[in-house]
Structure 1
């Protein structure tokens, strides 16, 4: 009994250490920086509504270097996702099937993803503008890249990077490990939803609330379906519309209404 108890405690410590390492290399670090960012924003002389948050910013004034840095940033941001699959693989079983990230049910996953996109995407836009009106959300600039031949493909890849990172780490991986640690359904859903909201705090209080709601909905769906693929599809489409749609509007609306 004592040996079994010691082994259980050792296993729990190892799981918590693993979770800390994975999050420290990925979205946990983003959450910490985001919390510091919102503190800095709230204590600045400029009102929150008059501040700007930039996503997908240019990384170099020279076109070929900017494109190179953009692709490298996307590739290396996905290394923690590869780490998650590796850790799940060595703990037993097929990690892709375990997280429901495969092509066993492509049309059902696509349909569910589109449904989630509508349920989350449209209210999310409304919540953003409501937050801007209330002064609790900064002006988010999702795609301030200069327009080059590679701009749209890079923005699509950036959207995919965000979808893979968030849904496979925060939902798929964390749900798996926290269940192994004995956490119950709603404790897992709510804690991961708060984590999702926390690494969006740099955008203001409104996006924090919106992403917590998104985390609750996505978490409940994953618990019910056991598949991350619909979540990745929904997240990818939402971010493509945000990134590419914004870039298109900046490039074309002045000409249309000028």
Structure 2
């Protein structure tokens, strides 16, 4: 039986979630707000500016650059493990309860593929429309050059993004804020808003698209009680974006 929520326990839950966000996606949100302010106050129009993701650090030294990229992937997923660890301290079955396990791989893969299709196609249309309306920067989703390890690193980066965002923004926050007494609607709206905010560095299209994605995955999580399909869907979306850009950039006009 769940213990009654007191003012002290509610405050403790909010402090904990604020700290987890502060070392992960909340900090990204602050930098994203600063980034969009810098971009909209620049002389160049928003759509003429390029936002490069997965950028090389030392392109003249590929092996050192590979080490940088792998370190970024490894360290980037740590806040998700921290979030699960904090949940496990209270409930040894927490990973299973939020669906952050491998019990149902077929279910997770099938639902994840459907969710990726439902989000990805409208998302691409929104990006192109926002860029045409000068509401979004041009996204260069991969900037690692022609190294032999570029594609594997892009796949790892996609998985890292997916694990971090879905475990923290959905599995962890939905659990903690529910324990604090928040309604599902309030949690879904708050989580989706934060998700949109830390994508503002892309432009306003990135904010709207990811806010919508946050609401969709919130509904999916409530329906399936598992973050597994959300991680699969997010990984597929980012793999298509990152690897697709690396392969097609310069070959199609709309990238």
Larger relative helix fraction = 1
1:103-130 C-alpha deviation (Å, 9 max, x unpaired): 2222121111111011000110111100
Note the aligned Cα RMSD (angstroms).
Answer: 1.5
Q: Which whole-Å CA distance do the structure 1 matches of 2:249 and 2:212 have between them?
A: 29
1:15 corresponds in structure 2 to 13
Unmatched segments (≥5 aa) in structure 1:
none
Q: Which whole-Å CA distance do the structure 2 matches of 1:179 and 1:203 have between them?
A: 31
Q: Secondary structure at the match of 1:82?
A: helix
Q: Which whole-Å CA distance do the structure 2 matches of 1:198 and 1:39 have between them?
A: 12
1:104 corresponds in structure 2 to 103
Q: For residues 108-257 of structure 1, what are the structure 2 equivalents within 5 Å?
A: 108-250=107-249, 253=251
**Alpha-carbon deviation of 1:162?**
0.5
**Alpha-carbon deviation of 1:95?**
2.6
Higher alpha-carbon deviation: 33-42 or 62-71: 33-42
**Alpha-carbon deviation of 1:98?**
1.9
**Alpha-carbon deviation of 1:148?**
1.1
1:42 corresponds in structure 2 to 40
Moved over 4 A (4+): none
**Alpha-carbon deviation of 1:246?**
0.8
Superposition TM-score, scaled by structure 1 size = 0.93
Unmatched segments (≥5 aa) in structure 2:
none
1:81-101 C-alpha deviation (Å, 9 max, x unpaired): 111111011112223202101
Higher alpha-carbon deviation: 11-20 or 28-37: 11-20
2:64 corresponds in structure 1 to 65
Q: Which whole-Å CA distance do the structure 2 matches of 1:180 and 1:196 have between them?
A: 21
Q: Secondary structure at the match of 1:53?
A: strand
**Alpha-carbon deviation of 1:232?**
0.4
Q: Which whole-Å CA distance do the structure 1 matches of 2:184 and 2:223 have between them?
A: 10
Superposition TM-score, scaled by structure 2 size = 0.94
